[in-house]
A and B are shown apart, each in its own frame.
Chain A
Amino acid sequence: MARKAASSTSRSTGPSAPVRNSAVRTSKGGQLDIDDLLADRKVDIIVCCGSGGVGKTTTAAALALRAAEQGRKVCVLTIDPARRLAQSMGLTELDNTPRPVKGVDVGAGGSLDAMMLDMKRTFDEVVQTAASPEKAKQILENPFYIALSSSFAGTQEYMAMEKLGQLHADPDSRWDLIVVDTPPSRSALDFLDAPERLSSLLDGRFMRLMVAPARGPARVLTAGLSLVTGAMTKILGGEFLTDVQAFIAALDTIFGGFRQRAEATYRLLQADETAFLVVAAPEPDAIREAAYFAERLTSERMPLAGLVVNRLHTLAGRSISAADAESGAQRLAHDGADEAATATAELLLVHAERVRRSLREEKVAARFTASHPKVPTVAVPALASDVHDLDGLRQIGGLLAGVAQPTAAAD
């Protein structure tokens, strides 16, 4: 496609140059070039993160669609329980298996598959592949495991990264790009912590403590230890403790493999082949979260490609100021003149509100740029209505790449 050719020539450093340098992706000042990112064949994972409600899922889907229509073989993995991606991609069933999305233009040789994470099934599969059949059965039937794998918060992040690792490592993979959406909470960066937590769990004294009684050597039962087990029995009740011990002892055998994969996934995320996009809305909370994400990613040495500021209300090039509009409206309405004057007065009030909002949003977004001058940014204008089909996603994709204009002035 034309865009692809254009962007590959614009990367003057050539294919063997390091692509992680933000200067390479930055075309004009701090502008993030999305098409350049999507055309970069070395990038095979794009992770979209950000706080809830900023349009992360839609952004991930729009990026995936755009990449597919530009010739990449894409799989988009979403973790959101609200099934929003399913709605926007016209899929009614997402069941842990990537399925082709209908209606994608495959003219450039690309393809698009989508899947939604089934947390429990992913966990079950991990257990089944890592343990012997009877051991697996024992784990899957343990009440503590059932609760852990299906209902407790936090498991989502662990399993999201597990699934990403699986998709990426799949030798029969038909994809050259995986786009990942992340869970919608402050814990969204928990997926970064998941491998480390697993390691600290495995290396920790707690683990040894919990597994010890099952293995039986009495000599580890020091005074401190018996104090601890005593306290835990007192709090939790004997049966609960037995369930937990049985669960951890059983899981111990498969944890090794689990941990190895978790660590491999962490390294995968740090590699040059991965690009993180932080998504935000021009609201103080979302921008604060975005700053937190950017700092966390940098300190973990994760490759941050840039910031997407969604749903920005933009103004036409030449514009009447809010104060002029408001005083003008007053004068027009005051003169109590004809219909056109009344209508114009009202339109001026609509305009004034819009200008004020736009200025407020710009100010908020500028705060991020001021504190993170090196992070390339792209602003996506707000659309007048919600996106719920491929055409809508295509339009968002165009806006992300800066090659389309919104069709109407979103209020």
Chain B
Amino acid sequence: MALSTSLHIVSGKGGTGKTTVAAALATALADVGKRVLLCEVEGRQGIAQLFDVPPLPYEERKIAVGLGGGEVYALAVDAESALLEYLQMYYRLGRAGKALDRFGIIDFATTIAPGVRDVLLTGKVYEAAKRKKGGADGGRFVYDAVVLDAPPTGRITRFLGVNEEVAGLAKVGPVRRQADSIMSMMRSRSTRVHLVTLLEEMPVQETLDGIAELKKASLPVGAVIANLVRPALLSDPTQKALLSGKLEQAAVSRALESIGLDGEAAPDLITEGLGHIERQTLQAEQRKELGDRDVVELPALAEAIDQGALFELARILHTDLLKEGS
């Protein structure tokens, strides 16, 4: 049990692999013995796919055990269940809750009224992060950490800040109090918003924009995680020889033939080598764009992401991201 629950919010441009990174981060935390809740809020069932378990219900389920004996629980938060649970938990609205449903209000609140979804989704994350063993006064927290697979960078500031909007609308009352508490958790020292990117121009630009927006909204920026980084496979001398044209096709052909491979593949190999250099140069440029902030690099793995791959990524995150004992 923990003295406080740390909240890791993982966002990133679409296609950068934020779900994979969130899952690897949860695994890394479990590897050092933590009890972790991994949440998804977009109804994609990405966590179930990664851990190869059946689709997650609205219920916290143990899905993995870390090397250090910690545990990963997973939860797919959906707005409708969150609302019904919320009404029951805070207002004990038995009969009235059903009446709300009958009048189409649950449906309205969760699907029609834009924004209410975000309030409910962040509200559930808040509830899980603040839950204590043995009820509200029970001392220690149920989870050491909550990892949230959050909406993409373009939407993250709005998503996390939605309760500020609510606080502006509801001037008094329980909704206002709840909104204020959620905002102070989002801005607290135990919360970090990590941004996943690729070392490509548009994702990096979006990441930099996202960082600026988060800072402006006083939300705590954590690490930048560069995912799917291509390893450098060509040595300096080879790169120089390729770029200067000194590496002759005929020489490559001869080398290929010396080991019984098709010498005619030489021109294609040289073109691919040049493509590789171009890509590496691009990566290095984009890495520079990110400046001197904390950037954790995760390699592109050869095979599809499975649980073994998650452990591999978790090891890197553990050394590079969680080094300060968070």
Q: Which of A's residues lie within 8 Å of B, judged by CB? A: 51-54, 80-82, 84, 87, 143-144, 147-148, 151-155, 158, 184-186, 193, 197, 200-201, 204-206, 209, 224-225, 227-228, 230-232, 234-240, 243, 281, 283-286, 288, 316, 318-320, 324-325, 328, 331-332, 337, 339-351, 353-354, 356-357, 360, 384-386, 388, 408-411
Contacts and interface: CB of A to CB of B under 8 A. Distances in A.
Interface in B279-321: 279-280, 282, 302-304
A315 B188 CA distance: 50
A154 B115 contact: yes
A341 B303 CA distance: 28
B275 interface: yes
Given A185-B42, A204-B104, A384-B279, A350 B115 contact: no
B117 A316 contact: no
Given A147-B168, A205-B104, A386 B202 contact: yes
Nearest to B253: A344
B271 A408 contact: yes
B80 interface: no
B272 A236 contact: no
Contacts of A332: 255, 258-259
A385 to B, nearest CB: 6
Given A51-B14, A184-B154, A325-B261, 10 more contacts: A81-B154, A81-B155, A184-B14, A197-B112, A318-B262, A340-B252, A343-B255, A388-B201, A408-B278, A411-B278
A239 B114 contact: no
Given A197-B112, A344-B269, A353-B302, A328 B174 contact: no
A381 B262 CA distance: 25
Interface stretch (B30-38, B93-101, B218-226): B93-101
Q: Report which residue of B102, B118, B165, B230 has the largest number of chain A beta carbons within 10 angstroms of its beta carbon.
A: B165
Contact of A186 (B43, B159, B165): B43
16 contacts: A82-B205, A143-B169, A151-B115, A155-B115, A205-B104, A206-B103, A232-B100, A236-B175, A318-B264, A328-B256, A328-B260, A343-B252, A385-B278, A385-B282, A409-B271, A410-B275
B139 interface: no
A224 B99 contact: yes
B162 A340 contact: no
B27 interface: no
Contacts of A53: 13-16, 152, 203
Interface stretch (B65-73, B127-135, B235-243): B235-243
Contact of A227 (B43, B99, B118, B159): B99
Contacts of A331: 259
B233 A346 contact: yes
Contacts of B107: 200, 204, 206
B305 to A, nearest CB: 8
B242 A343 contact: yes
Q: Report which residue of B95, B102, B233 has the largest number of chain A beta carbons within 10 angstroms of its beta carbon.
A: B233
Q: Report which residue of A147, A235, A316, A347 has the largest number of chain B beta carbons within 10 angstroms of its beta carbon.
A: A347
Q: Report which residue of B100, B151, B265 has the largest number of chain A beta carbons within 10 angstroms of its beta carbon.
A: B265
A331 to B, nearest CB: 5
B221 to A, nearest CB: 18
B262 to A, nearest CB: 6
Given A231-B96, A347-B273, A411-B276, A201 B112 contact: yes
Interface string B78-112: 00000000010001010111011011110110011
Nearest to B271: A409
B46 to A, nearest CB: 7
Contacts of B117: 153-154
A320 B265 contact: yes
Given A148-B114, A151-B165, A354-B272, A237 B175 contact: yes
Given A82-B154, A82-B209, A408-B271, A285 B19 contact: yes
Given A227-B96, A239-B171, A331-B259, A152 B115 contact: yes
B270 interface: yes
B44 interface: yes
B140 interface: no
Contacts of B254: 340
A385 B91 CA distance: 56
Contact of A152 (B118, B205, B273): B118
A99 B175 CA distance: 44
B200 interface: yes
Contacts of B46: 285
Nearest to A203: B104
Given A153-B158, A237-B171, A360 B304 contact: yes
Given A224-B102, A236-B170, A153 B275 contact: no
Nearest to B159: A153
A235 B174 contact: yes
B3 interface: no
A185 B155 CA distance: 9
Contacts of A351: 265, 268-269, 272
B96 A284 contact: no
A151 B158 contact: yes
Contacts of A230: 96
Contact of A386 (B201, B206, B268): B201
A347 B202 CA distance: 28
Interface in B7-34: 13-16, 19
Contacts of A411: 230, 272, 275-276, 278-280
Given A54-B14, A201-B112, A411-B279, A152 B238 contact: no
A153 B115 contact: yes
B261 A346 contact: no
A343 to B, nearest CB: 4
